Structure 1
Amino acid sequence: MTILVTGAAGFIGYHLSDRLLREGNHVVGIDNFNSYYDIKLKEDRFAMLESHPNFQGVRLDIASYGDLEGLFNKHAIHTAIHLAAQAGVRYSITNPFAYLESNLLGFGNVLEACRRHEVSHLIYASSSSVYGANEKMPFSVHDSVDHPVSLYAATKKANELMAHTYSHLYGLPTTGLRFFTVYGPWGRPDMAYFSFTKRIAEGVPIQVFNEGRMRRDFTYIDDIVEGIYRLIGHPPKPDPQWNRERPDPGSSYAPYKVYNIGNNQPVELMRFIRAIEDKLGKQAVMEFKPMQPGDVQATFADIDELTRDAGFRPQTTIEDGIGRFIDWYADYYNVQSDKPSETAANGEVPV
């Protein structure tokens, strides 16, 4: 079947498109190649996808409805997987209009195109950031998420509300995925694991926020892709037990569903840094900083719903995942590791 992937030159979009192609699907991948981070990385991802005969790559901005409508007129889209968005919590504080255009106008255009062309299932990227000021752990889709702490988070919560409206009004099946700190090869350079690796490899100090007292539900890219793939053929159905007097935020009387997709095992930031040090064979020089505006101290995903409905269960430890990322990083950027061979054998962190 023909599957549309928006943000196909992005980190998750590239890996998902690659999986879909390997499974025999035809993929229409679109991206606007914005300059939020290194465009060469996006170009290289896209070039690998374009080498596949079943991939149709289109350079297109979802903020332009006319261009998007033209794409849907040209291709019989069966399923749409919407991953294109302006990412980043801190960037949303200094560049709010990028988020309003891409995450709100752009997502509205995608919804409208999907309903006009009767797409069978829209899967879209939400974010763990929607939990905002919530402190009850693990984060559950059944909890209220009405107190975002960044504009980025607010746009993702808005996406969920917009999707529900289209599910209600037009019967469009929509599934929102709240991603929890995705990492791995071909990742985003603005993410901590990427910048930490670069700086540690170069002997440059790294900034460790909140004095290192941070916990994240780091989720390896292959696990994320597996979860998305399992949901494609399972569009949500109305929940007959949904109660209007006690409304459950995670489901609906409409064909609408929201899932957490995370590792379900939060990792201390210092363990995360040690995994990078061990793989590189170099110690980090750390500069401890206070919490940044828009950040949260911890994320921890309750994935029971996704496990029940799709059999999703992440398999990758932080040490294995970081190891695979750094192997890719060293190859892509031609970085030499200082790690002695005996360290590889016994797993000790250099001192």
Structure 2
Amino acid sequence: MNTKKPILVTGVAGFIGFHIAKRLLEMGMTVIGIDNLNDYYDPMLKVARLGILQDYETFRFTHGDLADLVSLEQLFYEHEFDYVVHLAAQVGVRYPIEAPVSYSKSNLVGMTHILECCRHHNTKHLLFASSSSVYGTSNTMPLAETAPTDEPVSLYAATKKANEVMAYSYSKLYQLPITGMRFFTVYGPWNRPDMALFKFVEAIDAEQEVTLYNYGKMMRDFTYIDDVVDVISSLMVNRLNTDKVVPFELYNIGSNNPQTLFDFISVIENTMGEKAKLNLHPIQAGDVQDRWADVTKLKSNGHPLPKTSLQEGIQSFVDWYHSYTHDA
């Protein structure tokens, strides 16, 4: 990567933020990470991730909130980042039903402040996290980047759609190179506890019921974290086509290998050598039936495609889970 300046990773104590920061540090980059360490899930998991990153001499952590524009501007003045990987967000498709204001602050105000700082400080490339949830109830599978995204079924999805539109506007107005990344059900070691894999493994390990919505018939495009980091790294270093009027792109980041939740549970059972006690429910508000990615655009632009099998990925997570919970 052609930069001697630090790279900013927002949401660095989060699941994907931690993994991309670790990869960049392993590549010899200097990483400035920012995170507000909120309590949406156990902050001790975030602290544990940070502990690993802080073992690298070229890592610096800032405990801060992107809603604080003054502090964020100061960070940009100090480092003049060439590359920014914006992953900080309030996540979850059901939580906004309980706490909608937190999504506006984190996902809309925070994104606006990042865009402002990037355009004032001549950032060479901003990459930001969008989500497959922007596709809403679209049922044309697999989902290509050109599929409609005008009917989000959750507030979280609505904020991510808004992020894409905001980024497009800034890119067009200020010729700012921006790449949006629509993640599809990312999983692996250090996963969030509110995600399906963590919850399922935790329940099976404790011999408790596993709750499956839509009676386990939903299909998801489970995408292993190392494969996601490979794609992000490739997107960072492969600059956008400078001949384009608007240096803005959106990419699906998924495995294009959909699995039903029943199949997903079956692989977990085989990996753990234990049977799940299933508790079946109707689909929840904010969820959609099926969702998986068309990755033709990734492939045609020379980026790596996810390759880790579900069996390999779940084994890695289960190994990490037992290690983490044993040491906790």
**What interval of TM-score do these two structures reach, taking the shorter chain for normalisation?**
over 0.9
Name 2:252's counterpart in structure 1.
260
Amino acid at match of 1:99: Y
| SS of equivalent residue, structure 1 residue 41 | helix
Name 1:298's counterpart in structure 2.
290
Name 1:250's counterpart in structure 2.
none
What is the rounded CA distance, in whole Å, between the counterparts of 1:238 and 1:22 in structure 2? 29
Deviation at 1:191, TM superposition (A): 0.3
* TM-score, with length taken from structure 2: 0.97
What is the rounded CA distance, in whole Å, between the counterparts of 1:221 and 1:110 in structure 2? 24
Name 1:115's counterpart in structure 2.
119
Moved more, 303-312 or 98-107: 303-312
Instruction: Say which of 233, 242, 247 aligns to 1:229.
Output: 233
Tell me whether 1:324 sits opposite 2:321 in the alignment.
Answer: no
Equivalent runs, 1:186-335 vs 2, <5 Å: 186-237=190-241, 240=244, 253-334=245-326
Amino acid at match of 1:184: G
Name 1:348's counterpart in structure 2.
none
| SS of equivalent residue, structure 2 residue 301 | helix
Tell me whether 1:66 sits opposite 2:70 in the alignment.
Answer: yes
| SS of equivalent residue, structure 1 residue 232 | helix
Could you say which structure has the larger radius of gyration? 1
Equivalent runs, 1:9-158 vs 2, <5 Å: 9-158=13-162
Deviation at 1:239, TM superposition (A): 6.4
Contact preservation (8 Å) 1:238, 1:256 = no
Q: Deviations over 1:75-122 (max 9, x none)?
A: 121100000000000111111111000000000000000101000000
What is the rounded CA distance, in whole Å, between the counterparts of 2:14 and 2:81 in structure 1? 20
Q: Identify unmatched segments of 5+ residues in structure 1.
A: 241-252, 336-351
Deviation at 1:238, TM superposition (A): 5.8
What is the rounded CA distance, in whole Å, between the counterparts of 2:310 and 2:260 in structure 1? 10
* TM-score, with length taken from structure 1: 0.90
- % same residue: 49
Amino acid at match of 1:316: T
What is the rounded CA distance, in whole Å, between the counterparts of 2:86 and 2:239 in structure 1? 14
| SS of equivalent residue, structure 1 residue 310 | coil
Q: How many residues align?
A: 323
Deviation at 1:53, TM superposition (A): 0.5
Instruction: Give every structure 1 segment of 4 or more consecutive aligned residues whose post-TM-superposition deviation is greater than 3 Å.
Output: 237-240
Deviation at 1:237, TM superposition (A): 3.2
